[in-house]
Structure 1
Amino acid sequence: MSSEPDRKCRGRIFCTWSLALLAFPSACSSQASKSFSATPPANLPTASNKATFASDGTISRAPNTVKHVENVLPGELSSVKRWTQPFANPRDEQFHVWDLFGFARSRTLQLDIRKLKNILEAKEDLLYERAKMANYSRITSRERLVTGSPRPVKGLGGECFSFPIKRNNAAPISGGDGSRYSVSGVRMYCRVGNVAVSIQWEGMDYPGRGVIKRGVGLTYGGSEKQAIGIMRPIIFSLTPER
């Protein structure tokens, strides 16, 4: 399965996994289904910042997602400059990274929104994510990547699931000075109509200066809860007014 996550470099996050492989297989285990309240988020998107819909109900244009997450980012990222992939087309794909890396800790948030051609293609994309990205393991002589079993995340208004991720001796996703470090956290995926949204939130606190290959990583449960807070206004912006 080692070549699967690179298929068409879907969402570009999959491409970055080839550059920064995930780790520590013992921490990734099967989890029970989890449900969360569907209460609309604070700071709701206005009508002008919501998706545009075609006559068949599919999304024809996604909104500017960054506007919906700026107020719900984890506190550690409040002063971190956002990096946007230059290939991204706001109409069809948006890819953003917030990357904090230092001797004491690291935090990385990746956000990817892709508009697929139709509902069928979006459902196939979801099946691929669940089958190929979850329960994935790749170990090389230099670095290790492991993801755990997917569990549904209910109450968000889309078809959502998450799974734990861990990386050991990984390369920074958006460049940096070439230092390698270890992180853990969550990957969350939601399908809303013909749009796929994925969030990858990970980090670790390190024991001392120069020790960046081990430490206390973000837990699956804690990072999942933060990812839900980020995902909620995005899904709301992709949902038609009732």
Structure 2
Amino acid sequence: MINERFCAVVGLLTLLLCTSATSAQGAWASEPYQASPYTTGTPEPYSPPSSAEKVAAHRGYMGAFSLGVPVWLNVDRNVVRPGAELYGFGGFDMGYVVFGLGLGAMWTPINFYNIPGIGTGFDRRPMTRLFLSPEFRVQVPNRSPLLPYIGISFDANWWRVRETDVVCGGTYYYYCARIAVFRFTPGMTAKLGLAFRVASGGFIDIGVKYSLTGPGSFFFRREQWVTPYIGMLFR
């Protein structure tokens, strides 16, 4: 009797366990598959920047040279004529600003024979200017072929109109020589320019400069002039 009850209980427990296992397998099989949120797609191909983008994002050295025509203001045009200016500039281009140094020479023809009351025996002579100019420039780099900029420089000027002097000396032998005499005046220049890109890193540079110089050992008052110019710029 006890064996029959024990067998019945064991059979009932076995049936319940089999039913539970079958239900669990069905529930596991019926759960939907969830895809991973991280996909492994093909990366987009890298496209190198264009030449215009490279020029717009340039950081490095800049160089320029130009030829200008200085025209003096508030002077007698029959005496002081338009001249010529050669200018070279080199600096470090930081994108929107440029720090650099300029060197130049300027020649202005002076018609001494047209000065009232000067007398006879005078001809045309050039007034020479040599200058050194630390310059600060602000520009607008962009993807277009145009590069506008403004700049300001502080000029150290040396002037001469055929003035000479005689110096003598020597260690082992005595000699004398005639030298050119230049006289100093301080000054400053403001410029407005526009560069047109004609090649990768190469520009045609046009603009105008307004310059003034204070009194010094050459001028007794402030003098000023305007210089339109054209040249080449490299960055």
TM-score (norm 1): 0.29
More strand by share: 2
Greater RCO (Cα-Cα under 8 Å, separation 6 or more) = 1
Structure number with the higher helix fraction is 1
Q: In terms of Rg, which structure is larger?
A: 2
